[in-house]
Structure 1
């Protein structure tokens, strides 16, 4: 026979357990809703990338940018030009180009000779039928590229600047 004292003790234990379960369920539901809200926010795209720079993200910080209105127009024109080109303007320096039977070996020898003297500079060996070519640099501005060209001209006297369009960086 169940005594009233035992009933309340068991009910109290079950009540505490149920209370914990409800709390855990509430936390799980809250986390799920929060995660789905973040996914929706991350998938939201704006057609104008420039506006994203000035959007407040709710992190609590404020950034104040003082600039001429003309700068906004110039930046938007530059971004539109990049969209039309399908990429970003880039400047390389070609230090070797050859199509002989030994051109591949000569290209890699030129690259090795370059790396012995100039570390940390991007370099690529490209096969552009029928030529092997060695490019260095990959700078966004021509002035940076000219500085590098002047620096290496003694070691690579036939080097010259090549303009290219590269793909937009993937984040």
Structure 2
């Protein structure tokens, strides 16, 4: 059911873009010699629903996605250890973003912004030598380009 909702939302976003620019709908309905014609009919209210979904997507701060967790620790040395892990990571991968966060009582160091788990695997494999205990985690605040 969740997959169906995600597909419907993506379809609505796509339709919303098509309806706001009309270029896709117009190009699909143009008559070209040797090609078929597609006619798009939509019910009353569909355009309004699509516009609502577009607004919701624009207000979202992030999406559920995946990161690689390099460190999680607490106690008096937790922050210092987290900052050391961050520094160690940036020395090896200066072009990557690092997220150091504190959610009581844990300091965490996470890297990467991935929409799908399999996208994080190449970096995870590269990090295994430097951080043998790193692993992929689901993160609800991943910043992604909006669709």
Q: 1:63 to 1:130 in 2, by over 3 A?
A: farther
Cα deviation code 1:91-116 (max 9, x no counterpart): 01110111121110110010000000
The alignment status of 1:152 with 2:138, answered yes or no, reads no
Per-residue deviation at 1:119? 1.8
Alignment-derived partner of residue 126 in structure 1: 101
CA distance in 2, matches of 1:149, 1:93: 7
TM-score relative to the length of structure 1? 0.52
Structure 2 segments unaligned to the other structure (5+ residues): 1-11, 29-52
CA distance in 2, matches of 1:168, 1:96: 20
Alignment-derived partner of residue 139 in structure 2: 164
CA distance in 2, matches of 1:169, 1:112: 24
Among 85, 88, 92, the residue aligned to 1:113: 88
Among 50, 60, 67, the residue aligned to 2:14: 50
Cα deviation code 1:7-66 (max 9, x no counterpart): xxxxxxxxxxxxxxxxxxxxxxxxxxxxxxxxxxxxxxxxx433222126378xx766xx
Q: Which gives a bigger RCO, structure 1 or 2 (Cα 8 Å, sep 6+)?
A: 2
Work out the number of aligned pairs and report it: 104
TM-score relative to the length of structure 2? 0.59
Contact 2:66 2:138 in 1 (8 A): yes
Per-residue deviation at 1:169? 6.2
SS in 1 for 2:19: coil
Per-residue deviation at 1:121? 1.3
Alignment-derived partner of residue 136 in structure 1: 111
